[in-house]
Amino acid sequence: MRARQLGLAPGLMLADARALVPDLAAVDIDREADRTWLTRIADFCDRYTPLVSLDEEGGVTLDITGCAHLFGGEEGLRADLTRRLSRITSLVRSAIAGTPHAARALARYGESTIVEPGMERDAVRALPVAALDIDAATIAALEQVGLRSIGALVERPRIPLAERFGRDFPRRLARLLGEEDIGITPRRPLPLCSAERQFAEPIARIEDILDVLASLFKQNARTLEERGEGGRRFEAGFFRADGGVTHLIIETGRPTRDPDILIRLFRERLDALNDPLDPGFGYDLVRLSVLLTQPLVAVQNSLDGHTMEDGEVAALVDRLTTRLGADAVLRFLPQETYIPERAMRLVTAAAAEAVLADGATDLWPERAMNDAPLRPLYLFAHPELIETLAEVPDGPPLKFRWRRVLHDITRAEGPERIAPEWWRDGAGAATRDYFRVEDADGHRFWLYREGLYESETGTPRWFMHGLFA
């Protein structure tokens, strides 16, 4: 406001600005620092509502629908927000209105106020046309024809305005007048359920924080139980009395409602932090949100001996994931293909559980207890070329040389013919004939011949692909 009173405005040349204000100090704008500062303020505003968005022009918009009563009404919420923000910034302007566009315009170009429902049209009449968030050329064109305020536009027919200033112009005006509400786009995903605790006196001890989290877990667990669900991703938000905010996220491999498990994981998460949690003067608000849920069916462990074992393995995976990171704990899943080296894919343990929860199968090929394995225990990532003596055209190998050692084959099973996947490897890919062979020393190998004799190649090549136990 002070800059506008002096005649300064965005887009003004520096020489012209110094002509108006000779002792004007000019520094380069640091947009990254501004963005970081604005993000910190938005994090702070999460204490009032999960619906917070960033404005490109340096503001923050909150959707406080259904939240104001928690702070003594809209006036109480605005007073609390202004008081807290005044500790970290010298100028705070705020407005509450029925649409985000009206509230934003009033805070930026008008007075700090609370607009009664349905009174947006009267509240914004005195604002300049710049409150429409339009470009400088359009503002100049409006001012040239004497349309300098929103009130001057209200009485004008909308169709001529659209023809002169673009089809988006009437929509901007309608949103500012409270006639159209498109809501905001939250910067953070909305939690599926949430619980929080506020403190008259801030807390700082880790043990107190964990006790509060345990209590909040139990509140969320009751909500999840009513839905027949368990949580997979949890976020704890710690709001410091000085405005600082810290968010910690943990994930579990399986849905759970057990507070003891989650407290152990959060303790692991706190211990694994490179920068320890700094409570400063203490936290006056702690919130626990559930960001991802899945159906959870109660299991009676005494009737299934494997259930307890599976649960212990899942708990171990969760602890390792929390301490080491999701990318450090991996799992194989089967993949639909006939090519052996493509029959599996490596994913994070958390992603694997999510895939299986969506209905994917985790069944690997089964065999009877006494049957010989169809696939080797060790599969080479890249098959190794070998020298082989074999009967033509389709006979098994009689002997082969691999890594300078000659192996005499005493037993052979096969061939198992695997056709190429032409949609992946192209039309020129060769057919493979696989053999399970055993040499004179009892070692068992998995070999294949690449290319059908005469029909695909005149000189088929042989490869070592895996080793049996």
Q: Is 125 helix (H, G, I), strand (E, B) or coil?
A: coil
For residue 180, what are the contacts with CB-CB under 8 A and spacing of at least 6?
99, 171, 174
In this structure, how many other beta carbons lie within 10 angstroms of the beta carbon of residue 256? 24
Cα distance between residue 204 and residue 156, in whole Å: 59
- pLDDT for the residue numbered 18: 83
Q: Are strands 344-348 and 330-334 parallel, antiparallel or unpaired?
A: antiparallel
Query: Closest by alpha carbon to 92, among 335, 329, 182, 84?
Result: 84
Burial label for 272, CB within 10 Å (0-12, 13-18, 19+), is exposed
DSSP 389-456: EE-TTTPPEEEEEETTEEEEEEEEEEEEEE---HHHH-TTPPPEEEEEEEETTS-EEEEEEES-BTTT
- pLDDT for the residue numbered 216: 93
Total residues found in the chain within this entry: 469
- pLDDT for the residue numbered 467: 94
Cα distance between residue 469 and residue 462, in whole Å: 21
Structure tokens at 256: 């759970």
In this structure, how many other beta carbons lie within 10 angstroms of the beta carbon of residue 423? 8
For residue 165, what are the contacts with CB-CB under 8 A and spacing of at least 6?
134, 138, 141, 142
Quick check: bond before 396 cis, omega within 30? Answer: no
Per-residue pLDDT of the chain (469 residues; tens, 9 = 90+): 577 777 777 777 888 888 888 888 888 888 888 888 888 888 889 999 989 998 876 789 999 988 888 888 999 999 999 888 888 777 888 899 988 889 988 988 888 889 888 888 888 888 988 888 888 888 888 888 888 888 888 888 888 888 888 888 888 888 888 888 888 888 888 899 999 999 989 999 988 998 999 999 999 999 999 999 999 899 999 999 888 898 999 888 788 888 888 888 888 888 878 777 888 889 999 999 999 898 886 655 555 555 555 667 777 777 777 777 777 788 788 888 888 888 888 888 777 766 665 555 555 666 656 666 788 888 998 899 999 999 888 889 999 999 999 999 999 998 999 998 888 877 778 999 999 999 999 999 999 999 988 888 888 999 999 999 7
Cα distance between residue 108 and residue 102, in whole Å: 10
For residue 150, what are the contacts with CB-CB under 8 A and spacing of at least 6?
124, 125, 126, 127, 128, 129, 131, 132, 173, 176, 177
Do the Cβ atoms of 430 and 457 come closer than 8 Å? yes
In this structure, how many other beta carbons lie within 10 angstroms of the beta carbon of residue 78? 21
Query: Closest by alpha carbon to 173, among 125, 137, 136, 135?
Result: 125
- pLDDT for the residue numbered 342: 82
Q: Is 41 helix (H, G, I), strand (E, B) or coil?
A: helix
Cα distance between residue 447 and residue 396, in whole Å: 10
Side chain identity at residue 395, one-letter code: G
Cα distance between residue 63 and residue 185, in whole Å: 10
Query: Closest by alpha carbon to 222, among 241, 190, 195?
Result: 195
Side chain identity at residue 353, one-letter code: E
Chain centroid, CA 50 distance in Å: 16
- pLDDT for the residue numbered 453: 85
Do the Cβ atoms of 77 and 47 come closer than 8 Å? no
Residue 423's alpha-carbon distances to 124, 291, 349, in angstroms, are 62, 39, 30
Do the Cβ atoms of 52 and 187 come closer than 8 Å? yes
Do the Cβ atoms of 100 and 61 come closer than 8 Å? yes
Q: Name the β-bridge partners of 434.
A: 416, 448
Going by the DSSP 8-state scheme, the letter that residue 128 receives in this structure is B
φ/ψ of 410, rounded to 5, equals -105, -30
User: Radius of gyration (Cα) for the chain, nearest Å?
Assistant: 34
